[in-house]
Amino acid sequence: MIFDNAPRDIKIDKTNKDKFRFFAHKFDKDEKEIFLLAMKVGLFYDTRIPIKEVQSLAQLSTFSKDDTENMMIIAFSEIKDMNKIFNGKEVIKICEEYANGGIRKLYKLFVEEGANKDDTRIIEDIIERIKLSME
Amino acid sequence: MWCLYGNEIIKQTAEIGVHYLKNERHLNEETYVTIETQNERIKRTEDNVYIQKKDKNSNKYIPISYPEVEIENTILPTSVKDFFLFKGEFLDSFFENQNKNFLKDTVLNVSQITKLQKVIEILNNLENKYRKEIAKADRKSAELIKVQREIEEFGETIKILKERIIKLDGKLFTYKTEIKQIEGILVDKNVRQLTELLTEEKQLKGQKESLIADKNGIREEIKEKFVNELSFWFLFEVAKNFKKTLNKMEESGKIPPPATPSLIHKILEEKKCICGNSVNVQMKARLEMLLQNLSRDSTKYDELYRINLTLSIDINEFQLISKKIQSLLGKQSEKEQELTQTVKRLEEISEKIKGVSESDAPKLQVQKETLESEISKLEAEKVEVLSDLATNEKNKMYYEILFTKEVDRSGKNEFLVKKLEVINVFRTKINNISIKILNKIVEELNNNTKAYFKDIFWDNYKYMNYDIKINENLNLEVSSPRGSDMLPLLSTGEKKVLALSFISALSDFYGFDFPIIIDSPFTALQKEIIENVLKTLMKLATKKQVIIFTIRYEDKIMNQLIKNASIVYNLEKDKNDNTILKKVK
């Protein structure tokens, strides 16, 4: 295990469970993969929301090395200290909170704002946004 | 609002003011409605109406009887009565085939032309009577009697032949209408073309399924790439900084980390170097040798070193993924366009073939040919009958002239002869008057029905060029500029408005002022059409008293209805669960 003091489980906010399920169905993925997507979206759109009602999603040990590396990269944006990015407790907390914000952002993009739009057109808009951020 | 259906016993003097309406169920389960006024009570059961008057002394209600007034055919002919008391649910079937003669009868009755025709019949009977008297009086002239009999017989034959023509016309009309309906289904009267259209429809349906499947496949692929490949690029900025920091650490010698015992142990255990390469026999031996000389521990910098080696943030990779997705989006758009065109063509074909399957088309064609053959036979028969009629009329005229000559020759019965002349003159005049009245009515009905209907739908381009007219059979026709029969294509709401427009136009010919009473005029109508029917009723109410029964609709419609009505009653339940009538306005 790459992390020290890592919690056993990755957690989400209970109130957002339905959103994870919704996107799992929409993208034909499991909720773990949606978590990974959500945390990246949360970081990109700078929306980090603490979890109020905790619910376990999956065991950390089920995530791949690439997944945990992405978690480290996300945590580094906050911690900014290479010595501390192996602190599992802190890294996971940051990722969970970004995922919490990210899942709400995804819901806003695909459901609330994108009610009359095809999903693929929403994805197209997101790509444009990423391109702009790279300039 | 309320209405009594069926037989009514009408009080001949003042109006009845309604104070209280009650729906009761008697102990014997008989249900009835009572309307109570100050001095009277009208009780309406399923089968009958009773009127009771309040006795001043005992204060009890006692039954009274009124002479039954023959409503039908005296004050209000049956066919006309049905124009005042009818069910709104069936308004749209006003112009159906079964009602065709009903409309004609109604126009003739309302215009009182039937009375003129009765007068002509009376005159004809008188004429026969006077001829008989003349023939009888002149006993010597056997010829006169013979001639008079011939006239009578020809008259009877003419009557029968005219009735036959009416029946033939009715059948011809029915068959021709059926053919029009079949032709509407069989495109361009060509079964082969229909078969081609059906084949094309089948192919297009398959194509549509395939396009939808392709489109869905592309969508799934795009979503897959979004989650799996594109999502990393949300981390572009932070990953860049992360990589930058790792590179600095490498430059400063922090990574790869110096060899430590735990690191070496780890490498030997995993049989993999921190750079990712497998440890072979030689490397193992060297590492074991190194282990003996080491003392310090690592601080996970080996992980960081490995991450730095593998982490790639090449913007070209993003461009590649982005291009792939754009290409998929392009394909999706093409499929969508193709799908739109396919669906459009399917709709065009569906409209043309109107749900006729391949097996139906030949049957319809045969049916049509049978009808055409019947029509030919009937038309041939009609020609014969018309010819017979002409012959009989000619013969009758001949004998009439002969009769007159015989009478003139004998010089007797001058008075009766004069009467015959007068009858002839009257008959001609009445015929001319009938024709003039009918033409005038038809013209005005035409114009007013059209005006009412178009007034409602004026803003809708679809109706502006429709021609609405009453034909020679006194049936209402609605046709497009090309002469196609549009009546069957009108929607339920449009037919209701048309029926109401016709009734409104007809109401101008009443010799008496009767209300129009409609039950459920808005049934099975969409909201926009309800508004149109409501407009028509409000227009009608400026000319006639209109009484409607309706259920409650949305507030906008109810408010409009209540605003424009003079009197509004609402049916409610009281605490004993009886229905009571409450005055709202």
Q: What is the 3-state secondary structure (H, E, C) of A57-114?
A: EEEHHHCCHHHHHHHHHHHHHHHCCCCCCCEHHHHHHHHHHHHHHHHHHHHHHHHHCC
Q: Pick the closest to residue B41 from B76, B17, B73 (CA basis).
A: B17
Residues of B whose CB is below 8 A from A28: 220, 223-224
Instruction: Summarize pLDDT for B302-327 with one digit per residue, the tens.
Output: 788 888 888 888 889 999 999 999 99
CB B490 within 8 A of CB B458: no
Mean predicted lDDT score pLDDT of chain B: 76
Nearest to A123 among B222, B233, B242 (CB): B222
Looking at per-residue pLDDT, the higher value among B65 and B144 belongs to: B144
Tell whether A54 lies on the interface with B, counting CB pairs under 8 A. Answer: no
Instruction: Summarize pLDDT for B327-346 with one digit per residue, the tens.
Output: 999 999 999 999 999 999 98
| Whether B235 and A74 lie within 8 Å, measured CB to CB | yes
Q: Which residues of B touch chain A, with CB atoms under 8 Å apart?
A: 218-220, 222-224, 226-227, 230-239, 241-242, 245-246, 249, 299-300, 303-304, 307, 311, 315, 318, 322, 325-326, 328-329, 332
Q: Which pLDDT score is estimated for B434? A: 86
Tell whether A29 lies on the interface with B, counting CB pairs under 8 A. Answer: yes
| Whether B322 and A74 lie within 8 Å, measured CB to CB | no
Mean pLDDT of B90-110: 64
Q: What is the dihedral of CA B58, B59, B63, B65, to 10 degrees?
A: 100
Mean pLDDT of B560-567: 83
Instruction: Summarize pLDDT for B178-209 with one digit per residue, the tens.
Output: 887 787 666 554 666 777 787 888 889 999 99
Segment (H or E) for B104: helix B100-110
| Whether B233 and A130 lie within 8 Å, measured CB to CB | yes
Q: Over the Cα atoms of chain B, what is R_g? A: 46
Mean pLDDT of A66-71: 93
Q: Which pLDDT score is estimated for A47? A: 96
Structure tokens belonging to residue B502: 């016709």
- Max mean pLDDT among B64-68, B239-243, B273-277, B521-525 falls in B239-243
Q: How confident is the model at residue A93 (pLDDT cuts 50, 70, 90)?
A: very high
Q: Pick the closest to residue B243 from B304, B292, B197 (CA basis).
A: B304
Residues of A whose CB is below 8 A from B255: none
Is pLDDT at B16 greater than 50 in this prediction? Answer: no
Q: What is the dihedral of CA B425, B426, B428, B430, to 10 degrees?
A: 160
Q: Which pLDDT score is estimated for B358? A: 64
Q: How confident is the model at residue B210 (pLDDT cuts 50, 70, 90)?
A: very high
Calculate the alpha carbon distances from B305 to A82, A85, B1, B258, B309 in Å: 12, 14, 90, 11, 6
Q: Work out whether the CA dihedral B530, B531, B536, B537 comes out positive or negative.
A: positive
Structure tokens belonging to residue B58: 């005992």
Read off the DSSP letter of residue B359.
T
Percent share of chain B, pLDDT over 90: 20
The answer to which of A99-108, A111-120, B372-381, B458-467 has the lowest mean pLDDT is B458-467
Mean predicted lDDT score pLDDT of chain A: 92
The one-letter amino acid at B108: L
Which residues, including other chains, have CB under 8 Å from residue B334's CB and lie 6 or more apart? none
Calpha distance B470→B464 (Å, rounded): 18
Mean pLDDT of B509-534: 68
Which residues, including other chains, have CB under 8 Å from residue B42's CB and lie 6 or more apart? B16, B34, B35, B49, B50, B51, B52
Interface test with A, best of B232, B234, B340 (most A CBs within 10 A): B234
Is pLDDT at B258 greater than 80 in this prediction? Answer: no
Is pLDDT at B4 greater than 60 in this prediction? Answer: no
Mean pLDDT of B151-170: 92
Looking at per-residue pLDDT, the higher value among B226 and B406 belongs to: B226
Q: Pick the closest to residue B174 from B93, B96, B91 (CA basis).
A: B96
Residues of A whose CB is below 8 A from B299: 83
CB B584 within 8 A of CB B567: no
Nearest to A133 among B237, B239, B246 (CB): B237
Instruction: Summarize pLDDT for B24-39 with one digit per residue, the tens.
Output: 444 444 445 566 666 6
How many Cβ pairs closer than 8 A exist between chain A and B? 88
Is pLDDT at B376 greater than 90 in this prediction? Answer: yes
Which residues, including other chains, have CB under 8 Å from residue B395's CB and lie 6 or more apart? B150, B154
Calculate the alpha carbon distances from B501 to B386, B443, B456 in Å: 37, 15, 9
Q: How confident is the model at residue B100 (pLDDT cuts 50, 70, 90)?
A: low
Q: Which pLDDT score is estimated for B189? A: 47
| Whether B234 and A130 lie within 8 Å, measured CB to CB | yes
Residues of A whose CB is below 8 A from B236: 130, 133-134
Q: Pick the closest to residue B529 from B563, B508, B504, B553 (CA basis).
A: B553
- Max mean pLDDT among A106-110, B55-59, B76-80, B433-437 falls in A106-110
Q: Which pLDDT score is estimated for B465? A: 67
Q: Which pLDDT score is estimated for B11? A: 34
| Whether B235 and A44 lie within 8 Å, measured CB to CB | yes
Is pLDDT at B415 greater than 50 in this prediction? Answer: yes
Looking at per-residue pLDDT, the higher value among A106 and B48 belongs to: A106
Q: Work out whether the CA dihedral B196, B199, B203, B205 comes out positive or negative.
A: positive
Q: Pick the closest to residue A14 from A74, A90, A103 (CA basis).
A: A103
Is pLDDT at B378 greater than 90 in this prediction? Answer: yes
Looking at per-residue pLDDT, the higher value among B81 and B224 belongs to: B224
Interface test with B, best of A39, A95, A127, A128 (most B CBs within 10 A): A127
> In B480-524, at which residue ranges do the beta strands (DSSP E only) sit?
516-519
Calpha distance B419→B350 (Å, rounded): 69
Residues of B whose CB is below 8 A from A31: none
Q: Which pLDDT score is estimated for B7? A: 32
Calpha distance B489→B495 (Å, rounded): 9
Is pLDDT at B58 greater than 60 in this prediction? Answer: yes
CB A109 within 8 A of CB A40: no
| Whether B227 and A27 lie within 8 Å, measured CB to CB | yes
Q: Pick the closest to residue B152 from B120, B170, B181, B130 (CA basis).
A: B130
| Whether B236 and A133 lie within 8 Å, measured CB to CB | yes
Instruction: Please state, as a whole number, how many other Cβ atoms lie within 10 Å of the Cβ of residue B558.
Output: 13
Q: How confident is the model at residue B483 (pLDDT cuts 50, 70, 90)?
A: confident
Looking at per-residue pLDDT, the higher value among A26 and B300 belongs to: A26
